[in-house]
Structure 1
Amino acid sequence: ELKVGAILIPIEKMLVDFCNSGLVHSIMTESVSSEGYELINLISSDIFLKRKGFLAERFVKPPIEITIVFNCVVDINHIVILSSVGSQKSNGIELSTQNGESLIFHTISSGLLQNSEEGFLFYKKNCFMTSFYNYSSLSSHTFYSWKFLKAKAIK
């Protein structure tokens, strides 16, 4: 158990942001990034760089594939993707995971944005978390299957 103030939190229930440089083995894409909006920003410990995000050069055509390989197998609870950088906005996302035992990635969810939505929330069915973020402006989608939510890599 972890003691936070007067609240005891069971360790197995603790949520961790795995998109940081200490917990990610590698992050890669074949797309060229715009200056100042490099892929490494997505896992930076510098909150300013993390908020800047990643932006492909304007001549790069979609889809853009980003692969994140973790240092260990991660049990995914939910994924939040804020999909706007400046005036650029990604309107469609597909998530796939790899469990580390094979090289095959399995699609776990996908979604499309409506005009007013700012990003995506992908979550386990029956595990919707309302206390961490104002999710009302996000496009919400459940994972297709629990089978592939223990992931060594995600793209």
Structure 2
Amino acid sequence: MKTVLTNKNISIRTRRRALECYIEPILMYGCEAWTISKQTQKKLEATEMWFLRRMLRISWTAKKTNDTVLEEAHTTRLLISKIRKRQATFFGHVMRREGLENLVTTGMLEGKRSRGKQREKLIEGLADWLKAGKSLEAIEATKDRKKWRTMIANAVKQGT
């Protein structure tokens, strides 16, 4: 894909579409189950910018800011929003089904917790992104499909 993505005879819009169709699905494979920490988010944003810089043939030594690169590509950062949207959609689907996946996803299993700092749960990251307050509010919102879709759409509009 390097020859297609770096070809200056192809418009930037077409190259961006090729990136979205062929590369991003590979990058986002299984993202519905990821817990996105600040560090992971930074790495994903850096990857997105790396692709754009390669498409525009901007060297990493060139003194161009990410904002300038985004302006040249006529785009904004969309990768994290796409991942969060897919996570929220999948989470709503799992919460509406009353099965083992529901128990595992919510983390409501019996037993002792391990020592040390607890790992971030998927529901906590989604609740922060959706501005739902507590994770229980997000779980309750999944029961009403219209309300859940509205929450996701509002979060996508606001960005990350």
TM range (shorter): under 0.3
Structure 2 length normalisation: TM-score? 0.23
Q: As a proportion of its length, which structure holds more strand?
A: 1
Q: As a proportion of its length, which structure holds more helix?
A: 2
Structure 1 length normalisation: TM-score? 0.24
Structure number with greater Rg is 2
Higher RCO (CA 8 Å, separation ≥ 6 residues) = 2
